[in-house]
């Protein structure tokens, strides 16, 4: 086997250098950059290439071998292990680069895919994956969801007996809306919101009404006024790393929103799926601030693996509300597939869940750094250095032109009107950073987008004195 010329880019990602090196090794194996059986560079050579100590590289290789990523042979060297990495052959090579789909990078999960399947085969409850189970999900899966919410979602009150397993975050949002909104009802939300909310509302016959926002998110006074005017009973919120604007609502603002909700007797659907990509100082979830009226939604698909199709809905501390949510879940799907939940339970037991999340977060730090290096000040301030998406504020006409010209440059962005309930209040473009398999593909797309932005700016300023 020819020796690899592997030279990973470590950048300024968090964590020790040896940890970053293991993360890049896993990602490159999953992406097919390093093939099974390929010989890695000798430790001293790689240390020289990366300006690291030999001890750092040795520790990284040792950890990689412990994880089963590589195999070392005395006198021959270190080789990529056979049969562990899973290539993303379902994604076509070449063509348009997608920056319009808000998903995490899949290289970290692909690196443990084969091990996950093997571990599932050893579980005593594997038979549940091939059978009907419970509408709320298997007890072991709901317990896994509660652990995830407490440890990663910051929801102190999360417990298995209040959880309902769903097939992703959007399914959870649809169940919540279907439980408490009837056709023709008004549902309040941000003026710019998750595009899936518009699809849910259109399907259910509900009218979305946007509540104006400022730099801290939804304005309490506007919410109070619109709740009174509309008679709405349901409010949808994305308080952490708002999609699409990346705003995180402050603790004070969250308490003000809760106060209005109590005054106007609003149920709150808290879509907090981006919390794991926010800052470490993210304020307390609304689910703990108002447990009697908050339906909390999280998504393992958004955090770890988009194909897992796994989410959870945490009901308020009210048995009647829980039963209504459970009825809607039964009516729309009878019971969730157990296999995805068993994978999460297995990952939590083995530590894979924490490891995958850490690697996804580190990869997003690299991707955000690259985006800010290339696009600079056109990116909205704030956000998070590990966010799945960035926000480019601009007027509606320019957003449309940039979107169309980016398509011609083989870069697909989120359609500029997709998130907007009121397109006159907030305008811009969402750019998603997680979808491209390779950092080099993301760089190609971002450079093309920069060229489009520069050309568009020049075209719009010609003749201006």
Q: pLDDT tens-digit profile of 195-222?
A: 899 999 999 999 999 999 999 999 999 9
Whether residue 285 sits in one domain with residue 206? yes
Could you give the percent of the chain with pLDDT greater than 70?
93
Which phi and psi (to 5°) does residue 224 adopt? Answer: -60, -45
- The whole-model pTM stands at 0.83
Structural domain of residue 429, as residue ranges? Answer: 97-111+352-461
Decide which of 210 and 280 is more confident: 210
Whether residue 310 sits in one domain with residue 171? yes
- Domain membership flag for residue 411: yes
Whether residue 379 sits in one domain with residue 309? no
The confidence score (pLDDT) of residue 1 equals 47
The confidence score (pLDDT) of residue 464 equals 40
Q: pLDDT tens-digit profile of 102-132?
A: 999 998 998 888 889 999 999 999 999 999 9
Cα gap 420→396, rounded to integer Å? 11
Whether residue 132 sits in one domain with residue 105? no
The confidence score (pLDDT) of residue 419 equals 83
Domain closes at, from 350, 374, 409: 350
The confidence score (pLDDT) of residue 240 equals 97
The confidence score (pLDDT) of residue 12 equals 64
Q: Which residue has the tokens 């609003």?
A: 266
Whether residue 271 sits in one domain with residue 197? yes
User: In the structure, what pLDDT confidence band is assigned to residue 243 with cuts at 50, 70 and 90?
Assistant: very high
- Domain membership flag for residue 227: yes
In 3D space, the residue among 111, 148, 400 whose CA is nearest the CA of residue 275 turns out to be 148
Give the least confident one: 28-32, 218-222, 331-335, 376-380.
28-32
Whether residue 335 sits in one domain with residue 197? yes
Cα gap 80→163, rounded to integer Å? 41
User: What is the number of structural domains in the chain?
Assistant: 3
Q: Which residue has the tokens 């106007």?
A: 264
Q: Is the pLDDT of residue 89 over 80?
A: no
- Domain membership flag for residue 291: yes
Whether residue 293 sits in one domain with residue 183? yes
Q: Is it true that the peptide bond before 315 is cis, omega within 30 degrees of 0?
A: no
Whether residue 346 sits in one domain with residue 411? no
The CA–CA distances, whole Å, from 67 to 25, 97, 354, 359 equal 11, 32, 14, 14
The confidence score (pLDDT) of residue 461 equals 44
Whether residue 273 sits in one domain with residue 131? yes
- Domain membership flag for residue 85: no
Q: pLDDT tens-digit profile of 246-266?
A: 999 999 999 999 999 999 999
Domain closes at, from 350, 373, 403: 350
Whether residue 318 sits in one domain with residue 174? yes
- Domain membership flag for residue 314: yes
Whether residue 410 sits in one domain with residue 328? no
The domain spanning residue 410 has which CATH number? 3.90.1150.10
Give the least confident one: 46-50, 145-149, 204-208.
46-50
Half-sphere exposure of 87 (CA within 13 A, CB side): 10
Whether residue 53 sits in one domain with residue 30? yes
Q: Identify the helix (H) or strand (E) that includes residue 390.
A: strand 389-393
The confidence score (pLDDT) of residue 77 equals 87
The domain spanning residue 29 has which CATH number? 1.10.10.10
- Domain membership flag for residue 193: yes
Q: Is the pLDDT of residue 3 over 60?
A: no
Q: Is the pLDDT of residue 463 over 50?
A: no
The confidence score (pLDDT) of residue 462 equals 44
The confidence score (pLDDT) of residue 460 equals 53
Give the least confident one: 139-143, 288-292, 424-428.
424-428
Cα gap 375→361, rounded to integer Å? 21
Q: List, as one string, the DSSP characters of 209-236.
A: EEEPEETTEE-HHHHHHHHHHH---EEE
């Amino acid at each position: 086997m020819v020796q690899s010329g592997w030279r990973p880019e470590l950048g300024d990602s968090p964590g020790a250098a040896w940890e970053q090196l293991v993360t890049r090794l896993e990602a490159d194996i999953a992406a097919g950059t390093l093939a099974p059986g390929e010989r890695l560079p000798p430790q001293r050579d790689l240390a020289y290439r990366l300006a690291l100590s030999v001890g750092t590289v040795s520790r990284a290789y040792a950890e990689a071998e412990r994880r089963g990523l590589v195999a070392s042979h005395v006198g021959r060297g270190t080789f990529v292990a056979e049969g562990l990495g899973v290539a993303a052959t379902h994604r076509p090579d070449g063509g348009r680069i997608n920056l319009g789909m808000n998903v995490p990078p899949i290289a970290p999960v692909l690196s443990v895919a084969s091990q996950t399947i093997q571990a599932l085969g050893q579980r005593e409850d594997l038979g549940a994956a091939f059978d009907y189970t419970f509408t709320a999900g298997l007890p072991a899966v709901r317990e896994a969801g509660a652990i995830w919410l407490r440890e990663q979602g910051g929801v102190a009150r999360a417990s298995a007996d209040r959880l309902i397993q769903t097939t992703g975050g959007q399914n959870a949002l649809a169940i919540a809306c279907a439980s408490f909104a009837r056709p023709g009802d008004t549902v309040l939300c941000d003026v710019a919101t998750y595009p899936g909310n518009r699809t849910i509302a259109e399907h259910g016959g509900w009218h979305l009404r946007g509540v104006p926002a400022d730099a801290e998110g939804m304005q309490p006074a506007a919410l109070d006024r619109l709740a009174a005017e509309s008679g709405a009973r349901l409010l949808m919120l994305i308080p952490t790393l708002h999609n699409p604007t990346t705003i995180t609502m402050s603790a004070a603002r969250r308490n003000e929103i809760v106060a209005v909700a109590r005054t106007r007797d609003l149920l709150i659907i808290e879509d907090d799926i981006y919390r794991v990509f926010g800052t470490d100082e993210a304020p307390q979830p609304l689910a703990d601030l108002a447990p009697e009226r908050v339906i909390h939604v999280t998504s393992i698909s958004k955090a770890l693996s988009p194909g897992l199709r796994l989410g959870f809905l945490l009901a308020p501390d009210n048995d009647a509300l829980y039963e209504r949510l459970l009825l809607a879940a039964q009516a729309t799907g009878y019971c969730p597939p157990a296999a995805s939940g068993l994978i999460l339970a297995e990952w939590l037991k083995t530590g894979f869940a924490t490891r995958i999340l850490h690697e996804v977060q580190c990869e997003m730090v690299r991707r955000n750094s690259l985006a800010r290096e290339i696009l600079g000040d056109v990116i909205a301030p704030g956000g998070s250095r590990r966010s799945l998406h960035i926000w480019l504020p601009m007027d509606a006409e320019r957003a449309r032109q940039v979107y169309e010209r980016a398509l011609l440059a083989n870069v697909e962005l989120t359609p500029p009107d997709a998130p907007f309930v009121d397109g006159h209040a907030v305008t811009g473009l969402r750019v998603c950073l997680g979808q491209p398999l390779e950092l080099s593909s993301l760089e190609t797309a971002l450079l093309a987008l920069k060229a489009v932005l520069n050309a568009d700016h020049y075209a719009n300023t010609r003749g201006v004195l």
